[in-house]
Structure 1
């Protein structure tokens, strides 16, 4: 996820036979393959065995960890200095609009001090590169308690570790919703940012970013297509942004969600404020470029077959470490 201001600092029938034998509440047996060419074109066959899907039908964080998810505990950038990161902000609840469906909820809070600020982030394995990424998320414009106005960042993104300042192989692709403005926006706005690289101190950025002001509160299906040397971002089926081959990912990335406060955008109050973001599902196809409609059809087919979790995306060889942090 973009830790800095961009301005500144399917085929339903085809899936069933492939997935039912490969999917369960536990990940598929580890598979190995050599890294892909990051600029390689992906195809659109009638079926695809290289998918990742999670319906977040869990009852506990430990159950979620069995499917290779990690909650961030590493302190530090981004956000409020001294803030705590932990799995305490991750919970599961029944969907009031769809009986039987479970949602994942991230909860972050602050009273304006570092020691009383809780940020939330969770990450999946670092093995994703080209293809289609998608998630159904619920953004909020206001806190569920406490005074409004903090610059809160609500996200869905992919990222690789930064090995050194201005690392030429760094990769990151972000959807970020700023419910109370920030980064040059006076009010709420959605950002899509693709990173070539950066330096933290002093901050130097190299990215392509697109912004749309206005409220995005409520449910949205976010889709990112990474193929043919282009990155295309979609919100509810409408193209939001297109970024060039210059910022196309070069290193395998982890899939992430997080919810955090900007250090410079807190309101002047010592009252505790609590913000939340919900996630219904996340989906990735490693070898297909899919439209929002095709993604939705694939997810519907998996759910109809009662597949709550599927991971048939091979690990890279050798298998990569998957840190959950910056």
Structure 2
């Protein structure tokens, strides 16, 4: 792994096609609309399936660009037909290095009664080709403001996956739970960072290291970068929510970042993003495709 220096960053910013290492991916989502977003390698999910409420729809119209931020907009009435979830994905070419995103989670719905087991995420993942696929790789931030999965506690998970069987569910992973709300009335911004290097993954929230994972859970194949907002099935809803009018939840993303094969501290990531924005750099995509190139799906 390479350490980064200010001079090297300056060359990368100024060098264009001849940019020196490290290789960066960065997007601050300052698009006029989603059509412009999709021209930069992003895709939105429409394929049905895991995760979420059975029968729920993955709704492309749930993705928008609002005031220079990416917005994920999900709706549920607690039933499959009455639920629209949303997912957006970038190309499958990311493995070791530093991942980061600045996100505003929702602790409360923007309309309707509170209480749905909504899950708001930032993650990197490869396809699951079959049950217990040994090459499956996933790094996952999941925020549960209303609890779920057998607990009513508000928490965020940092999860490094080895492999999984979806039905019946059996997962092999390493995880950390951080308890408590991440948004005062859902309006606070948080920077999430994952460092992936030399057999270990390091997890940070707002510059504070919360955990370190390794061993068999370390990712082994290139992954796509993703955000999604979905609703956990099977959990009881509070009185007044079940069967009531639809509830709307939103998650906003200010920017996303990856430095290939390079470990950066959260402070270095924030400083680099600040330099880019001050210099008018809204997006970079210097990370080359995997060799051979891999299909970039948006369905998991």
Please show how residues 94-109 of structure 1 align to structure 2 within 5 Å. Answer: 94=67, 102-109=68-75
Counterpart pick for 1:228 among 174, 190, 198: 198
Distance 1:144 1:271, change over 3 A: same
- Determine the structure 2 residue equivalent to 1:5: none
Pairing 1:219–2:219 present: no
Question: 1:317 deviation in Å?
Answer: 1.7
Task: With the length of structure 2 as denominator, give the TM-score of the two structures.
Answer: 0.92
Contact 1:12 1:297 (C-alpha < 8 Å) held by counterparts: no
* Structure 1 residues 76-155: aligned runs within 5 Å: 76-94=49-67, 102-155=68-121
Secondary structure class of the residue paired with 2:256? strand
Deviations 1:51-71 (A, max 9, x none): 100000112111101000000
- Cα separation, 2, equivalents of 1:225 and 1:288: 8
Q: Distance in 1 between matches of 2:176 and 2:116?
A: 22
Superposed, 1:40-79 pairs within 5 Å as 48-79=21-52
Aligned length, in residue pairs: 288
Instruction: From 204, 213, 236, give the equivalent of 1:243.
Output: 213
Q: 1:232 to 1:22 in 2, by over 3 A?
A: same
CA deviations 1:257-278 (Å, max 9, x no partner) are 0000011136312311000000
Aligned to 1:38: none
Q: Is 2:174 the counterpart of 1:201? A: no
Instruction: Note if contact 1:175-1:190 (Cα within 8 Å) is conserved in structure 2.
Output: yes
Q: Which residue of structure 2 lines up, in the alignment, with residue 33 of structure 1? A: none
1:173 aligns with 2:139: yes
Consecutive unaligned residues in structure 2, runs of 5 or more: none
Task: Give the whole-Å Cα distance in 1 for the aligned partners of 2:165 and 2:219.
Answer: 17
Give the Å deviation of 1:90.
1.2
Contact 1:181–1:188 (CA under 8 A) maintained in structure 2: yes
Q: TM-score, normalised by structure 1?
A: 0.85
Alignment partner, residue 243 of structure 2: 269
Match of 2:285 in 1: 311
Residue 216 of structure 1, CA deviation: 1.0
Q: Distance in 1 between matches of 2:200 and 2:28?
A: 28
Distance 1:80 1:182 in 2: 13
Aligned to 1:17: 11
Cα-to-partner distance string for 1:26-61 (whole Å, 9 max, x where unaligned) = xx9xxxxxxxxxxxxxxxxxx634110000011211
Q: Deviations over 1:127-169 (max 9, x none)?
A: 0000000000001111010010000001100000011110111
Shift in Å at residue 208 of structure 1? 0.5
Out of 260, 277, 280, the position equivalent to 2:230 is: 260
SS across alignment from 2:16: coil
Contact 2:149/2:235 (CA < 8 Å) preserved in 1?
A: no
